[in-house]
């Protein structure tokens, strides 16, 4: 996620009625989920590659 996207999302959440602190926490959780998703996909790719060998 790019910094511009992150800031834009925080501002959007703020205008939806969240405090800045709440908005930052929500975005922190989204980034963790994003990183976890990427890690799982990388792991699946390695497992499939190893299975072919």
Task: Note the pLDDT tens digit of each residue in 6-38.
Answer: 889 999 999 999 999 999 999 999 989 988 888
pTM metric for this prediction: 0.62
Answer whether 10's CB lies under 8 Å from 27's CB: yes
d(CA 34, CA 25): 14
Instruction: Give the Cβ contact number of residue 23 at 10 Å.
Output: 19
Name the token pair of 53: 């060998």
d(CA 38, CA 40): 5
The pLDDT value given to residue 4: 85
Domain ranges of the chain: 3-52
């Amino acid at each position: 996620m790019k910094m511009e996207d992150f800031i834009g999302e925080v501002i959007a959440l703020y205008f939806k009625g969240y405090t800045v602190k709440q908005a930052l926490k929500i975005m922190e959780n989204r980034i963790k989920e994003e990183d976890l998703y990427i890690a799982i996909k990388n792991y699946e790719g390695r497992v499939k590659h190893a299975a072919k060998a």
